[in-house]
Amino acid sequence: MHTFAALMEIGKINKLKIVRETDLGCYLADDTNKEVLLQNSKAKEDLNIGDDLDVFVYKQSEDQIVATRKKPYILFEEFAYLKVKKVNEYGAFLDWGLSTDLLVPFKEQTAKMVEENWYLIFLFTDERTGRLIGSNKINDFVFFDKIDLKTGDEVDLLLYNLTDLGVNTIVNNKYKGLIFQSDIHKNIHPGDKIKGYVRQVREDGKIDIALEPIGYKDSIDKNSNIILSSLKENDGFLELNDKSSPDDIKYALGLSKKAFKKSIGNLYKQKIIELYKDGIKLL
């Protein structure tokens, strides 16, 4: 979530006022008259003293705080799924959408990062330098107690890791969750930001997540799961529809035609499948 603050905050989007112009660029100020340089803005000709700008503020070096009109892929104390551009003796440098890369020091890596790979990252401030750095040590930045969620709540998800059990996700930028394989009925990928629903909050502080509203009538019944499993095994398409013979349906799925028609109707309403003249397709 963006923060439009009267006081300048490093690592966040700030609404600041242009107070003066120099050859280096425009100086912006917050309500306390603290200034920051917006370097050589390409759109300088359309900027005027007194204008308000939404800018990202960060520490470029140990003694220089700067502003940019670019929006980074990650903000202070948030998670994002980022790609490693290079690795050197200081750590890994990730693309976060700005001209300079984001450093993840070796001490903030759960395992040595690899160039071109993607990782879930948390953005925070290095106490020694005051600069923004990233961390891949996710458990250090999520909460496992005092979880303010209950079964059925709609939540924001950031997917980040595929396992045999399912897909790990960050929930509401605060908690860890898991979508079990049996609850996955559409194409999802690490890095996706989607909505989900709390199935249960476990005693260990982790959260089981569903992709459909809890208690949704006939949401995914046993017969629907049989159809979905068969679709996945056949590259997302089955040459069966409501005009198919009962024998063909029974042979392919072990279901009666009545049960088959009811289930594909439910799956179609939930926009999980599409119906065609020659069959059904997984969306």
Q: Where along the chain do its domains lie?
A: 13-68, 79-139, 154-210, 222-282
Asked if domains 13-68 and 154-210 share a fold, the reply is: yes
CA 179 to CA 266: how far, in whole Å?
Answer: 21
Across 213-241, average pLDDT: 80
CATH number of 79-139: 2.40.50.140
Pairing of strands 154-162, 132-135: unpaired
Q: Average per-residue pLDDT in the chain?
A: 89
> Which whole number is the average pLDDT over 112-137?
95
For residue 110, pLDDT beyond 50:
yes
Please state, in angstroms and rounded to a whole number, the distance separating the CA atoms of residues 218 and 215.
8
Q: Give the pLDDT confidence score for residue 21 in this predicted structure.
A: 87
pLDDT score recorded for residue 56: 96
Pinpoint the alpha helices (H) of 160-245.
Answer: 222-233
pLDDT reported for residue 69: 92
Assigned CATH for 13-68: 2.40.50.140
CA distance 147 to 239: 46
d(CA 47, CA 246): 70
Task: Domain 154-210: give its CATH superfamily.
Answer: Nucleic acid-binding proteins (2.40.50.140)
39 pLDDT band, cuts 50/70/90, is: confident
Numbers of helices and strands, H then E, in the chain: 3, 18
pLDDT for position 186 = 75
Measured distance CA(51)–CA(75) in Å, rounded: 24
CATH of domain 222-282: 1.10.10.10
Pairing of strands 237-238, 193-201: unpaired
Residue 64 is predicted with a pLDDT of 84
Mean pLDDT for 78-95 is 97
